Structure 1
């Protein structure tokens, strides 16, 4: 009986050990599910994230460039020129009369003179005697005329009594008229002589500044002696600025200018008062005349430079570092919304202290690469960073 009981117990044990338990099946199922999910993730999830990761890596490798949005501002068009300083109205003064021996020179270069002022005197001793002779001849003519008038008056009283005929009255009237005419002739001759004598003095035709003096006391001068003095009317000066044909065409009368003489640290304000209507066919240049007020630093014949404000326009302004050029012309690189670089052809204008004006090609709202544009290629992806900011 004990034998049978032990046999039954052992049989039950063997049966339980040969059959798998429920817990073990659960573990196996969980492991299998994990393997399936891992495979799905590697097949789909990781593949979907790969492009994004690649894009992120690409952006992290893109070069950083400094950009700026230039906007638009008023740019003054300044034309630089050089030229010669001269008197605005130069008056050459010489001998107006018959000339003679210069007795005195009364002015020096740099002297301010008034209109009609005597600059030099010429000996007039002979002419003075001639004038005295003519003055005496006037007195003789007047005496003859007075006598003729008296005789005519007496004859008119006698004609009423019948002692003198009317023919005698007519002769005496003619004698009186001839005497009066001789008086007028003598007076005219004296006036002419005095006018000639007054022209012996060399006078200034207008007020101004004496520039040169080419006569000395003791010198014999005549109408063929040439220019003895040069006078700047009113002391006004000007710069004869030479401009290219294109600059001259755009130069308005009244344009403001700043003139700096060579060797002088001082600048002077002026204004274009005349633009030459003629272009030199050899140099293709013309002259803009810039009026200047008198100053001792402005010496006629001297050389000077000028900056002329020829107008203004509203345009974007970029630094020189942002502008590139090649055989196709000038251009800049702009950065679009996708952070890709694009080439933009431009036309440059006036160079100012702030930069170079762009007359065509930009609206002013673009992100323009300021530096290192020569190392970029169109279509390249970059990381833009605003100038003066963090991006």
Structure 2
């Protein structure tokens, strides 16, 4: 018996849609989508692992190796290095021995000013001239008084001489001689008083000139012709004796304790690439209670670029010292301070707090925290955690 099978449209609709998906690759079943998502996640994970090993300074190890789970890190055993100690400190420039020059005498009106700021002057050179017309007349009157006193003295001497010739004849008594002698002596004394008064007036007149007390470089001029000056007037000039300058370097209490007078320093004024050699000649005997800083005074020779009041930076030699020097990549820092990672027993990392010193061309000096024999992680310490097992790869210095 034959049977006929009829396939209707409804029966065709029941065919699984996977066949259509196979015919059209752009359409995927939920199973295929899940496979694709899983594959993408695996690729991302593999990329993250590769990046980890790249930053850690090593290469991924082959599967089956015992160290598959231990990242390879580059380590260094730094040892100890002799470095020249250097203290870098800011400060201001100033005249080493500034000399304010003011009115010494009674003062008066300034007739002329002969120098300006930036000039060199010699000791005794006249800087400004003050009107002395009245004082000149007073000196002339006093000179006339001397002549009057001398005339009186000469007359008294002549009277005494005549009396001495007549005393033997009895015409003049000895009492008269004594009186005439006293008159002569008083007249001579008046001459000396008048001469002293004239000398005083002339000295006062000489002090009306403003003169340089020593040779040096004029820093300030605070007077103009026509100005009236006196004993209470502020300094008319400021002179740097010998043109000598200095820098007042502000250093910390600990740095000041490590310095000594006589050491050399290099000074670089702000805004200039030129440096000048100086020498520490005085260390502050006190520490500022507010800033906890002291002053190192560095003597400098004259140079036009060294302007008092300007800012500068000093690099002061503080002697040589033995210290561990590490590249900057090995030294990390957080809110707890500076630290490095050290590979210890069983290749486990250990966080080690350190005290950093000056920066040199070779790296950063470590003054405390390391003895130099440790295996210090050179790079990628920021990706490690304390106690993590690593595979150290030593790099020779």
Q: TM-score, normalised by structure 2?
A: 0.77
Match of 1:253 among 226, 248, 261: 261
Query: For 1:194-343, what aligned pairs fall within 5 Å after superposition?
Result: 194-325=202-333, 329-335=337-343, 341-343=349-351
Deviation at 1:167, TM superposition (A): 0.7
Match of 1:382 in 2: 391
SS in 2 for 1:57: coil
Partner of 2:50: none
SS of residue in 1 equivalent to 2:65: helix
In the TM superposition, residue 231 of structure 1 has moved relative to its aligned partner by 1.0
- Quick one: which of 92, 108, 129 aligns to 1:100? 108
Aligned to 2:163: 155
Q: Is the 8 A contact 2:343 2:392 kept in 1?
A: no
- Could you tell me which residue of structure 2 aligns to residue 347 of structure 1? 355
Shift of 1:111: 0.7
For the 8 Å contact 1:330–1:345, the answer to whether it is kept is: yes
Q: 1:370 aligns with which of 371, 374, 378?
A: 378
Matches within 5 A, 1:40-189: 57-59=65-67, 62-189=70-197
TM alignment of 1:7-26, pairs within 5 A: none
Closer/same/farther in 2, CA of residues 60 and 351 from structure 1, 3 Å limit: same
When structure 1 is superposed on structure 2, of 275-284 and 296-305 the one drifting more is 275-284
Q: Alignment RMSD, CA only?
A: 2.6
Gaps in structure 2 of 5+ consecutive residues? 1-61
Q: Distance in 1 between matches of 2:244 and 2:238?
A: 13
Displacement after TM superposition at 1:328 (Å): 5.6
Deviation per residue, 1:19-56 (Å, 9 max, x gap): xxxxxxxxxxxxxxxxxxxxxxxxxxxxxxxxxxx9x9
Query: Given the alignment of the two structures, is residue 192 of structure 1 paired with residue 200 of structure 2, yes or no?
Result: yes
User: Deviation at 1:185?
Assistant: 0.4
SS at 2:179 equivalent: helix
Find the residue that maps to 1:223 and give its secondary structure.
coil
Distance, in Å, in 1 between the alignment partners of 2:221 and 2:131 is 19
Cα distance between partner residues in 2 of 1:215 and 1:346:
59
Return the alpha-carbon distance in structure 1 between the equivalents of residues 255 and 148 of structure 2. Answer: 73
8 A contact 1:341–1:382 mirrored in 2: no
Distance 1:343 1:86 in 2: 47
Greater share of residues in helix:
1
Deviation for aligned residue 1:68: 2.5
Q: Given that residues 109 and 211 in structure 1 are in contact (C-alpha distance below 8 angstroms), is that contact kept between their aligned partners in structure 2?
A: yes
Out of 333-342 and 124-133, give the one that drifted further: 333-342
The CA deviation at 1:165 is: 1.5
| TM-score, scaled relative to structure 1 | 0.78
**Preserved CA contact (<8 Å) 2:150 2:191:** yes
Q: Aligned-pair distance for 1:336?
A: 5.5
CA offsets 1:107-139 (integer angstroms, 9 cap, x no match): 111111111211011111221121112112212
Tell me the CA shift for residue 105 of structure 1: 0.9
State the structure with more CA Rg.
1
Equivalents in 2 of 1:111, 1:164: separation in Å? Answer: 72
After superposition, what is the alpha-carbon deviation per residue over 1:265-304, rounded to whole angstroms, capped at 9, x for unaligned? 2111122222223333333333322221111001112122
SS at 2:141 equivalent = helix
Q: Distance in 2 between matches of 1:62 and 1:84?
A: 55
Inter-partner Cα distance in structure 2 for 1:313 and 1:347: 15
> Once the 2 structures are TM-superposed, how far is the Cα of residue 223 of structure 1 from its aligned partner?
1.8
Three-state SS of the structure 2 residue aligned to 1:316 is strand
* 8 Å Cα contact 1:66-1:387 kept in structure 2: no
Q: Distance in 2 between matches of 1:212 and 1:69?
A: 59
Aligned partners of 1:62 and 1:383 also within 8 Å: no
Aligned equivalents of 2:228, 2:351: Cα separation in 1: 78
